[in-house]
Amino acid sequence: MQLKKIKGQMSLAAGVLLQVSSPSSQAQGSEWDVDSAVLLYSEGDGRVSAFEPAIYAGRDLQYGDRIDLRLVIDALTGATPNGAYATSQAQTFTTPSGNGSYTTKAGDTPQDDTFHDTRVAIGADWTMELDRLSKLTLGANLSTEYDYTSLGISGTYARDFNNRNTTLTAGLALNNDLIKPVGGLPAELMPMVTQDSPLNRDGDSDTKVITDFLVGITQVVDRKTIIQINFSLGLTDGYQNDPYKILSVVDTNGDLASTGIFNTGTTGNLPYVYEKRPDSRQRNSLYFKTVHHFEEDVINFSYRYYWDDWDITSHTLDLKYRYQLAESYLQPHIRYYMQSAAEFHTHNLLLGTDVDTAGNVLLDYASNDYRLAESETLTLGLKYGIPMGENSELSMRAEMIRQTVTDDSNVPAAEATPDLDAVVLQVNYSFVW
């Protein structure tokens, strides 16, 4: 029995050694691991659609170093809710440029349908082996679209302990983002005006700086199980408004404000004001992940608890189960997410309470962006992957996403934020080149 066990361990050891010395995984500097994909994302009701081709390529270099490169192109079209809510009458809004307008039918949630953009994002990571047990990864990212540019650098140090069964990680990332909205920066909490009127603007562009710290531990538990725990601290300083989001201003009857400064005929002001968020935010998260190998199948589970000083907390559960078929695999996916509302999230602004008769908003901050509301998201997905040769794989996945705003209990049903339903379709082809 003992001999059989030793023989088994010897063959395992030989297998591992052979695997380590195989050309595909050794630092030969001659082969790229390439993963290419095309993603289609489509929301219902004429909302956002996206087409995203992406390619990732990584290659081992000499002395244990490695380089990883990625390119993503993101073409977006469609409509997105502007923050005002549905009323029993048609509503007309001015486009961000101020040169046009769009009208929402009575009973429909107002959406800005002038939204279209193409984003190009590139990134590179260089991993250096500092010594036998430690590595440093330096990264750079650039993402650019019509009204937004993001430039970031990052560094992650990882050191193995305990016979390489424990890895401690520390990371730091800095991002500098430039926001240059169509038509300029809306003046915070000031009214939207009618088409071709002088816009309430406060400059052309602004910036924000994002700093993220991370410490983590990864532990091999046994031959079939690995766990990871990360703690992240993020600080964001600068412009954090969505420049295209507004809030409805209503009178005590619940109708859109139409008197005084909101008398559109005499002032040119519409009964909507641009949102305002704090210019600083501290974000924290605790993240746990485990991967476990059953006889053939693999389960990948993660949980994240998040909290910040905008009073938002969230819980994210993510589970993927890889059923190994003969050659191919099938991977169901379920993700559940719930968040509380930002402290300044509000459905509307009430004239006389939140807004005085001169049109001054009496709140420090206000936003009706549905993404800052109490909400939950459920994702169900399925992926199928099949090997196409020794080092290549073709895979396809389909996912359905439903996002529901859950704090509309005090809001009339006609004004409630509609559910967001989205479908994701993706095809991947990975190969060694």
Alpha carbon distance 283, 414 (integer Å): 34
At closest approach, how far in Å is the CB of 94 from other proteins?
Answer: 17
Q: Which lies closer to other proteins via its Cβ, residue 361 or residue 373?
A: 373
- According to CB under 8 A, which one of 66, 159, 293, 402 is a site residue for other proteins? 293
Interface stretch with other proteins, choices 84-92, 95-103, 348-356, 417-425 (CB under 8 A): 417-425
427 binds other proteins (CB under 8 A): no
- According to CB under 8 A, which one of 166, 207, 252, 280 is a site residue for other proteins? 166
At closest approach, how far in Å is the CB of 412 from other proteins?
Answer: 24
Alpha carbon distance 296, 11 (integer Å): 19
Alpha carbon distance 243, 389 (integer Å): 49
175 binds other proteins (CB under 8 A): yes
Q: Which lies closer to other proteins via its Cβ, residue 56 or residue 262?
A: 56
Interface stretch with other proteins, choices 90-98, 168-176, 197-205, 405-413 (CB under 8 A): 168-176
At closest approach, how far in Å is the CB of 264 from other proteins?
Answer: 26
Interactions with other proteins, residue window 185-204 (CB under 8 A)? none
Alpha carbon distance 409, 416 (integer Å): 9
Interactions with other proteins, residue window 234-253 (CB under 8 A)? 234, 242, 244
At closest approach, how far in Å is the CB of 249 from other proteins?
Answer: 23
Of the candidates 248, 239, 113, 116, the one whose C-alpha atom is nearest the C-alpha of residue 185 is 239
Q: Residue 312: helix, strand or coil by DSSP?
A: coil
Q: Which lies closer to other proteins via its Cβ, residue 133 or residue 153?
A: 153
433 binds other proteins (CB under 8 A): no
Interactions with other proteins, residue window 345-384 (CB under 8 A)? 371-372, 375, 377, 383
262: burial class by Cβ within 10 Å (0-12, 13-18, 19+)?
Answer: buried
Query: What b-and-e string marks burial along 267-289, b requiring 16 or more CB atoms within 10 Å of the CB?
Result: ebbbbbbbbbbbeebebebebeb
- According to CB under 8 A, which one of 109, 269, 368, 403 is a site residue for other proteins? 403
Interactions with other proteins, residue window 54-113 (CB under 8 A)? 54, 56, 70, 72, 74, 76, 80
At closest approach, how far in Å is the CB of 347 from other proteins?
Answer: 16
- According to CB under 8 A, which one of 6, 13, 382, 396 is a site residue for other proteins? 13
The residues near 263 (Cβ < 8 Å, ≥ 6 apart) are 269
41 binds other proteins (CB under 8 A): yes
Specify whether the CB–CB gap between 208 and 180 falls below 8 A: no
Of the candidates 323, 324, 342, the one whose C-alpha atom is nearest the C-alpha of residue 405 is 342
Specify whether the CB–CB gap between 393 and 384 falls below 8 A: no
Alpha carbon distance 135, 137 (integer Å): 7
428 binds other proteins (CB under 8 A): yes
Structure tokens at 402: 């439903």
- According to CB under 8 A, which one of 49, 258, 267, 285 is a site residue for other proteins? 285
Size of the site for other proteins (CB under 8 A): 108
Interface stretch with other proteins, choices 186-194, 219-227, 263-271, 347-355 (CB under 8 A): 219-227
The residues near 16 (Cβ < 8 Å, ≥ 6 apart) are none
121 binds other proteins (CB under 8 A): yes
Alpha carbon distance 99, 381 (integer Å): 42
- Which residue, chain included where needed, has tokens 């050659």? 327
344 binds other proteins (CB under 8 A): no
46: burial class by Cβ within 10 Å (0-12, 13-18, 19+)?
Answer: exposed
182 binds other proteins (CB under 8 A): no
206 binds other proteins (CB under 8 A): no
Q: Which lies closer to other proteins via its Cβ, residue 35 or residue 279?
A: 35
Q: Residue 336: helix, strand or coil by DSSP?
A: strand
- According to CB under 8 A, which one of 226, 334, 398, 416 is a site residue for other proteins? 226
At closest approach, how far in Å is the CB of 232 from other proteins?
Answer: 6
Alpha carbon distance 179, 145 (integer Å): 10
Question: Rounded to a whole number, what is the distance in angstroms from the first to the last CA of the chain?
Answer: 45
